[in-house]
Structure 1
Amino acid sequence: MTWLASDTCEIDEFIALVEQTADIADYPHAAAIERGTVVYDSSSLREATASPGGRRAVMSELADALLNGPGIVVFRGAFEQPVVDAASAAFFELIAKEKANAIGGGDHFAKPGANDRVWNALEKLALHDPHVFVDYYSNDLVDLISTAWLGPAYQVTSQVNVVNPGGAAQEPHRDYHLGFMTNEEAASFPAHVHRLSPMMTLQGAVAHCDMPLETGPTMYLPHSQKYEAGYLAWRRDDFKAYFADHHVQLSLQLGDAVFFNPALFHGAGTNVTSDVYRIANLLQVGTAMGRTLEAVDRGAMLDVLYPVFLARLEGGADRALVDCAVAAAAEGYPFPCNLDVDKPIGGLTPPSDADRVRSALDSSTSAADFAAVLAARRS
């Protein structure tokens, strides 16, 4: 099948996949299977990866768990408490600073402002306290699973999420890339891209506090990454209802790390406590191959091309053909971006530059006014 559609998703086919069970015998380096999730003891894992052959064997096991197994693994005690506490202190300082300066506020899958976010926490932590950054990211297990899933030369990004007391659960969803699109957008990509998308990103979360179930740790549906049309199914009521009845949650302790296939159905749980600010550092690790061949200054291109686009339309040119030229010239994908400025409000993503060009053409925005928009974005 070349194209997938939401209205052809079959809940019975989905249930048959997710009702599989994980067998501890398939994961010889694991400590346990907890609620269908493969759980590892970090100290034992470090011993097992001390030799090149051992490291390769463990990476094979982890990759298989994410692809063919339940799609999620937990590393107990992946980070030492003093390291996590120092990073948490830095993150809360950044949150306080950004609130004072009215920075941030957007969110992908939650009401803006319901949680406290630090977008691009990777860069901000490095600039805020480089010593804490080096202590935190000198972590061999993050490198181990990132390499296992993505290969070498991966790219780390980080977003801190604090779910405040009373914070409501998210609806189940899939994540980056196709999970950040509307169903119409995702359906425009052929089925083989739906299969490719999860291979381009590793999703992770480091617990920065103890997370008993009442704090609402992330809800997961093991094996759900195997459903090919899942990027189109997660908004359907029948799939959401099944998730609500069958998801699992794992209590975590400070320093534990969870890693999962981004196609796994998941969502943050409800924090029913009155005094626990559930803080996690969310990791989105990307493949090195998610880059174009050449570095192109598309902003400079649009400076000179937008007046031509506008003039062509005013002269009666076919809009569909002009849009083809827009697609060749402008960045059509909204990421990577600055989420403090390009806020995902009113949708899962901010507008891309191509979206801005098309919107400006729709409203016959003058070349001078559009140049000002481009200049503001650069600044």
Structure 2
Amino acid sequence: MLDDLTSLTKQRVGLEDYPLAADIGGGQVPLYDCAALRRLTTEEAGRKLVMAEWVGVLKDGPGIIVLKKAFDDLEVLDHATVQFEKLIASEKRNGMETGDHFAKSGANDRVWNALEKLCLLDPDGFARYYANDMIALVSEAWLGPAYQITSQVNVVNPGGAAQCVHRDYHLGFQSPAQVSRYPVHVHGFSPFLTLQGAVAHCDMPFESGPTLYMPFTQKYGPGYLATQTREIRDWFDANHLQLPLQKGDAVFFSPALFHAAGNNRSSSIRRMANLLQVSSPFGRAMESIDRARMACALYPVLQRRLHDGALSEAAVHRIIAASAEGYAFPTNLDRDPPIGGLAPQSQQDLCRQALGENWDERRFAAALGARVESARS
């Protein structure tokens, strides 16, 4: 495993590989001058050239692009920063515990669902922020025109420790036991369902701990399990690439790229990034179904038939899989933050727990109702 990764990540690229880039960071990451791209993309042919090159980088190349001055109007960015700080202060006053998927709870300041919160707090500021052409262009390049944006603001305070290396949503937010249940081809297509991005809301010199990356690792098939091993975490810590950013820069990368937020060694820099997780529109069922209502109707039947031996435990699990929601996302991470795990409990998990512990029908309905409520915006 380690030999394969070492060989994969030794690759280097140059401007001859990505002719629209302005520079190559660390010998591996294309850096793009957004002022030049804006001139090029005034015509459709230019847009297609840029998008095609970016797809090549994200899919078959280093897996990461840096967009210099993605926000060329810093007043728009600073205005959003003020609104994000208001949200952080308000949530602290209200005693909200935000948690973090890959770092110690309380080490950072988080705003979950910053997209909706910014929109409701300041619709005009939201409109100016998300009118950004570079966010739209890279999102469309990777996911097509019907992409969906979510946003989480992350502030790593001075002294904030680095995250452990990981991949991102979807399979990156599963435990090793859960990941191992998905077939190999799902490991392959999961990275094509989302795009990860971050907009720098302040200058991020090395001492502030900008994100650590391992270029080309998005192409490593067993990576969702590999990142959860001590051997690979130690290797990443010793060999990662780190790139400083300036306020207004943005970075986008494959969710399968090995990465981790860095250690903020500064004494005064509150490193704020707006983390963008852009999703494909295609990961949806054809019909709208109230699966919680189905689970409530089925629960006493399953409990009775399991107890009298009419259904085996395996059969009950198959019925649960056909009825209850098996995936914990999307959810409201304010009500159900990732404290003590990567993802909250799914409806199916709750059904199995309730049956295993022989809850009565009323207790199960109340717990399921609370689960549904916790997922609402």
Bin for the TM-score computed over the shorter chain: over 0.9
Matched, 1:59 2:56: no
2:29 matched residue in structure 1? 37
Amino acid at match of 1:25: E
Once the two structures are TM-superposed, the CA of residue 102 in structure 1 deviates from its matched residue by 1.9
Matched, 1:343 2:337: yes
User: CA RMSD for the aligned pairs?
Assistant: 1.0
2:255 matched residue in structure 1? 262
Deviations 1:132-169 (A, max 9, x none): 10010001111111111111100100001010110000
1:4 matched residue in structure 2? none
Alpha-carbon distance in structure 2 between the residues aligned to 1:32 and 1:91: 32
Deviations 1:99-146 (A, max 9, x none): 111224221001111111101110111011111100100011111111
Q: 1:184 to 1:374 in 2, by over 3 A?
A: closer
Alpha-carbon distance in structure 2 between the residues aligned to 1:309 and 1:129: 48
**Correspondence for 1:24 among 3, 15, 20:** 15
Gaps of 5+ in 2: none
Aligned length: 370
Amino acid at match of 1:163: V
Q: 1:377 to 1:191 in 2, by over 3 A?
A: closer
Give % identity.
Answer: 54
Once the two structures are TM-superposed, the CA of residue 66 in structure 1 deviates from its matched residue by 0.4
Q: Which moved more, 1:342-351 or 1:278-287?
A: 342-351
**Correspondence for 1:100 among 84, 90, 93:** 93
Deviations 1:157-201 (A, max 9, x none): 000101011000011111111111111211111111111011000
Q: Which moved more, 1:80-89 or 1:231-240?
A: 231-240
Conserved? CA contact 1:332–1:352, under 8 Å: yes
Conserved? CA contact 1:152–1:288, under 8 Å: no
Matched, 1:307 2:270: no
* TM-score between both structures, scaled by the size of structure 2: 0.96
Deviations 1:260-319 (A, max 9, x none): 001110000000112111110000000011111111111221221112121222222211
Moved over 4 A (4+): none
Conserved? CA contact 1:207–1:279, under 8 Å: yes
Conserved? CA contact 1:86–1:132, under 8 Å: yes
1:275 matched residue in structure 2? 268
Conserved? CA contact 2:347–2:371, under 8 Å: no
Gaps of 5+ in 1: 1-9
Alpha-carbon distance in structure 2 between the residues aligned to 1:69 and 1:129: 38
Amino acid at match of 1:364: N
Once the two structures are TM-superposed, the CA of residue 239 in structure 1 deviates from its matched residue by 1.6
**Correspondence for 1:156 among 149, 154, 160:** 149
Alpha-carbon distance in structure 1 between the residues aligned to 2:300 and 2:121: 42
Amino acid at match of 1:371: A
SS in 2 for 1:25: coil
2:217 matched residue in structure 1? 224
Matched, 1:285 2:259: no
Alpha-carbon distance in structure 1 between the residues aligned to 2:12 and 2:272: 30
Equivalent residues in 2 for 1:1-379 (5 A)? 10-35=1-26, 36-79=28-71, 80-316=73-309, 317-379=311-373
Once the two structures are TM-superposed, the CA of residue 378 in structure 1 deviates from its matched residue by 3.9
* TM-score between both structures, scaled by the size of structure 1: 0.96
Alpha-carbon distance in structure 2 between the residues aligned to 1:113 and 1:305: 40
Q: Which moved more, 1:42-51 or 1:310-319?
A: 310-319
